């Protein structure tokens, strides 16, 4: 019997195998680079980082930091996604509002956190500054994607909706939201990574009590690069885990978005 090739991503065994090969290749490259650099301070080797991580991860201080950063990352992601989707939707649907919001959006897109860090530090408690920084970074990315998603709605269906005088909310739920879905998926993927990265960087700046970034900065000041990498590794694992959780959720969500 003839087989049809599948365009689906390889889940299960081949995907996992390829992932393992990729991970190994990555570790190998890292090891080689570490040997080439030849300095533990600049680039520690993978086994050295593994030892540092094995020392660090079971400590109470680490677990508290992990929890703090996790909550901040999720919060930043949630805010970026919700606010970005709302603003993107509005901009996509109303060209006039898009023009009106555009100056403020450009300011948000281009202002580095450092320029407004003083304000941020004064207005927010130190634990919230990383969230603020991450939202500042991820929100415009979500807006861009959602806006484009709204524009990608099928013009034939929009014509149909106009002809049958669908209510705005029916148009949004039936035509715009499904058109948006793939854009929202890539926006989430992009934003999730940004949030982890920037939350940790923001923690380095604002030094809240329980934070991966605070720990990382402590290690950085002492030039304990292997420990810096161990803290980073924790951030990467958070990213990978939430990625996986998010992918799972995505497979369930689309149905929930549809009209009852």
Partner 1 sequence: REPTAGASVLRLGALKGPSGIGMVRMFESPPRLSRGDTLELQAVPSADAMAAKLVAGELDAAVLPVNLAAKLYASGLPYRLAAVVGMGMVSVVTTDPAVRTFEDLAGREVHVAGQGATPEYLIRTIAEARGLDPDRDLNLAFRLPYPEIAASLAAGRISLAVLPEPFATQALAGNPRARVPFSLDELWKEATGRPGYPMTALVIRDAVLRDRPVSASALLAAYADSIAWVRAHPGDAGVLVEKHDLGLKASVAAAAIPRSAYVFIPAPDARADVEALLAVFLRIAPKSIGGRLPDPSFYAEIPKR
Partner 2 sequence: MPYSLRDIRKSYGNLSVLDGFSLDLAEGKVTAVLGPSGCGKTTLLNILAGLVPPDSGELQGLSESRFSYVFQEPRLVPSLTALENVELVLRAVFGSPERRDRALSLLAAVGLSGSAGLRPRQLSGGMRQRVSLARAFAYPADILLLDEPFQSVDLRTRIGLMDAFLDLQTADPRTVVFVTHEVKEALYLGDRVVVLSDKPARILDRKELLLPRNRRRFGSSDLSDVEAAIYRLILG
> How many chain residues are in contact with a copy of itself, going by CB under 8 A?
87
Residue 190: which of partner 2, partner 1, a copy of itself, none does it interact with, CB under 5 to 8 A by kind? a copy of itself
Among the candidate windows 81-89, 127-135, 137-145, 151-159, which touches partner 2 by CB under 8 A? 151-159
Site for partner 1 in 109-168 (CB under 8 A): 117-118, 121-122, 126, 129
CA dihedral defined by 121, 127, 130, 135, rounded to 10 degrees?
-90
Residue 27 and residue 47 in contact, taking contact as beta carbons nearer than 8 Å: no
Residues 32, 23: Cα–Cα separation, whole Å: 14
Residues 128, 123: Cα–Cα separation, whole Å: 9
Q: Provide the H-helix boundaries in 6-154.
A: 12-37, 46-56, 60-93, 95-110, 113-123, 129-151
Contact mark string toward partner 2, 152..181, x via CB under 8 A? ----xx-xx-xxxxxx--x---xx--x---
Residue number with CB closer to partner 2 (71 or 166): 166
Residue 222: which of partner 2, partner 1, a copy of itself, none does it interact with, CB under 5 to 8 A by kind? partner 1
243 part of the interface to partner 1, by CB under 8 A: no
Which DSSP helix (H) or strand (E) runs through 157? helix 155-163
CA atoms within 13 A on the CB side of 144: 12
220 part of the interface to partner 1, by CB under 8 A: yes
Residue among 38, 58, 125, 259 that touches partner 2 (CB under 8 A): 259
Fill in the DSSP letter of residue 4: P
Binding site for partner 2 (CB under 8 A): 1-4, 156-157, 159-160, 162-167, 170, 174-175, 178, 254, 258-259
């Amino acid at each position: 019997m003839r087989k049809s090739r599948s365009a689906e991503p390889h889940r299960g065994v081949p995907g996992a195998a390829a992932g393992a090969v990729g991970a190994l290749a990555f570790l190998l490259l890292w090891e080689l680079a570490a040997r080439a650099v030849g300095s533990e301070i600049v680039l520690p080797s993978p086994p050295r980082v593994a030892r540092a991580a094995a020392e660090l991860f079971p400590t109470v201080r680490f677990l508290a930091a992990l929890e703090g950063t996790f909550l901040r990352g999720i919060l930043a992601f949630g805010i970026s996604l919700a606010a970005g989707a709302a603003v993107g939707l509005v901009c996509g649907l109303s060209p006039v509002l898009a023009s009106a919001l555009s100056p403020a959006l450009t300011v948000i897109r281009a202002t580095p956190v450092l320029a407004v860090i003083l304000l941020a530090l004064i207005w927010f408690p130190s634990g919230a500054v990383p969230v603020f920084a991450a939202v500042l970074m991820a929100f415009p990315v979500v807006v861009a994607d959602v806006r484009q998603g709204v524009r990608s709605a099928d013009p034939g269906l929009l014509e149909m909706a106009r002809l049958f005088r669908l209510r705005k909310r029916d148009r949004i739920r039936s035509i715009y939201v499904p058109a948006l879905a793939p854009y929202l998926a890539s926006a989430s993927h992009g934003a999730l990574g940004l949030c982890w990265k920037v939350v940790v960087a923001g923690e380095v700046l604002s030094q809240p009590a329980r934070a991966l970034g605070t720990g990382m900065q402590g290690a950085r000041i002492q030039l304990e690069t292997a420990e810096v990498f161990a803290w980073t590794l924790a951030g990467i694992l958070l990213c990978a885990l939430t990625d996986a959780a998010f992918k799972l959720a995505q497979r369930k969500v689309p149905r929930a978005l549809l009209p009852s």
